[in-house]
Structure 1
Amino acid sequence: MRTQERSSAGARRTAAIAAPTGDRLPSAPRERKPALAALAVLLVLLGALGATVLVMRAGDRVEAVALTQRVPQGQPVPDSAIRSVMVAADSDVKYVRWDQRGLLKKYRSATDLVDGTVLVGSMLTKEKGLARGKSVVGLSLKSGQYPPRLEEGDTVSAYRVGNRQASSGGDSGGSGDSGDDQGGSGGSGGGASADAVLADGARVQTIKKETGGTGYSGDLPVSVVVDKGDVAELTAAASNGEVSLVLDSASGN
């Protein structure tokens, strides 16, 4: 009897396990897809590799030469005007490396270089002096004969000022001539001749600034780069103090 009861109980449990519960159907066993799993792993590895390369490139830096002061066009780069900076390495940019600074003595600036510039090869040239057809003229300007904020690298025009027109008209009044000179010094051009332009598109090369001052007072020594065809008339006017500079455009420093 006990054996039959045990057999009946076992059969009931088996039937209870096999019978579906409620409306749910038995689920099919999951199909494994090893190809998709391998692809997912490969994508993860590629992403990690790419991130590693970016980090390594960001940390790849070189020591280059930067300027600490302006260097006019055609001038050598002095040792006192350079410092070392770290920049991101770039095969497309030919930086002048810090270990190459000794070679700067063989080159000159191909254009006006401003403070903070990181030197690259195209900024330097072995050609000495000015560009063909250019000359440097020195001027000594009084207050009123130059813009208050004149800077090296600015583009200017040079005008004749003074009493040429008055003297050519036969005016012999000494006091009147003196007044015309004062007006010319102020840059008003009241006595300027009709062909007053002496040099157009000149570039300010150097300015002798006063130590410790932000502005200028008294005579201001200025050198300008002009076309050779303008040199004779400009120097003649400069010797008589009849030159006034007008600012055309700033250097953008």
Structure 2
Amino acid sequence: MRTSEKPVGRAPVNAERPGAQPGLSGPASRKLPVPPRERKPALAALALLLILGGALATTLLVLRSGDRVAAIQITRQIGAGQQMLVTSMREVQVAGTDIDYVAWADRERVAQNFARVTLLEGTLLTRGMVVSTSEELGPGKAIVGLSLKPGQLPITLDVGDRVQVIYVPGRGGDAGTQSRILAQSALVHRMRTSNTGAPTGQLAVIVDVKDAPAITTYASSGEIAVAELPGAR
């Protein structure tokens, strides 16, 4: 028996659109419409203003950074009530601000005045830190010199510090004699230091006049010690 084989047929080709894909016809083969891009002139103007504002601010900062003045910086601690010294000042350049810094040109006049509060090293001097009169060096006060040995003063002591002046009885004193405070809050007025900056034991302190005789007496016999009061500046 003879069997006839039928040739496999090909998919029909769209006669109207020869390049079209099989199975797609009509609207399905078309691209979806894209909506036109919306323009926002207000946002563009705002962005431009922000860019211009940033450029202007940068320019002002650069110009401001060059506007500097010569001011006074404290190079060594000055205690409250102590006289200002030119040797304890140096010239520094600071940005011009509304802060009332004392100009370096006024250093000689500043040296005729006194510190209102304790001025630490590195302080930029303002006019509110200086007074024309000193309670520490005024009537009712006395400057007493001390010559102390190691162990009779702290190695951290500096000019402008507050100290207690203490009577420490020597070995040859009465057995019943006890140490006592002679001055509750004396001010270190001057002090000698070694090459390393440590105190040598030679210092002058400001005390009340009524305490000066006893301190002088005990200091001459080496029966004086001082204790620093770091919280009493």
Matched, 1:119 2:125: yes
Q: Deviations over 1:197-235 (max 9, x none)?
A: 21223232221234x355566xx3321233444334323
The structure with the greater share of residues assigned to helix is 1
Deviation >4 Å, runs of 4+: 131-134, 213-217
Q: Deviations over 1:80-127 (max 9, x none)?
A: 333211112221x21111233343244222233344332111221111
Aligned to 1:241: 222
- Structure-to-structure mapping, 1:1-253, within 5 angstroms: 22-91=29-98, 93-128=99-134, 130=136, 134-162=141-169, 180-181=171-172, 191=175, 193-194=177-178, 196-210=180-194, 212=195, 214-215=197-198, 220-249=201-230
**Closer/same/farther in 2, CA of residues 113 and 192 from structure 1, 3 Å limit:** farther
Q: Quick one: distance in 1 between partners of 2:208 and 2:147?
A: 19
State the identity %: 37
Mind listing any 5+ residue stretches in structure 1 that lack a counterpart? 1-11, 13-18, 164-179, 185-189
Q: Quick one: distance in 2 between partners of 1:78 and 1:66?
A: 12
Aligned-CA RMSD value: 3.4
**Closer/same/farther in 2, CA of residues 39 and 206 from structure 1, 3 Å limit:** same
TM-score (norm 1): 0.65
TM-score (norm 2): 0.69
8 Å CA contact 1:150–1:247 kept in 2: the answer is yes
8 Å CA contact 1:204–1:223 kept in 2: the answer is yes
**Closer/same/farther in 2, CA of residues 197 and 106 from structure 1, 3 Å limit:** closer
Number of corresponding residues? 208
Q: Deviations over 1:126-158 (max 9, x none)?
A: 114626665432222234433344332333222
8 Å CA contact 2:82–2:189 kept in 1: the answer is no
Q: Which amino acid aligns with 1:222?
A: L
Mind listing any 5+ residue stretches in structure 2 that lack a counterpart? 1-16, 18-25
Answer with 1 or 2: which has the greater Rg.
Answer: 2
**Closer/same/farther in 2, CA of residues 34 and 151 from structure 1, 3 Å limit:** closer
**Closer/same/farther in 2, CA of residues 75 and 222 from structure 1, 3 Å limit:** same
8 Å CA contact 2:169–2:178 kept in 1: the answer is no
**Closer/same/farther in 2, CA of residues 22 and 208 from structure 1, 3 Å limit:** same
Q: Quick one: distance in 2 between partners of 1:192 and 1:146?
A: 24
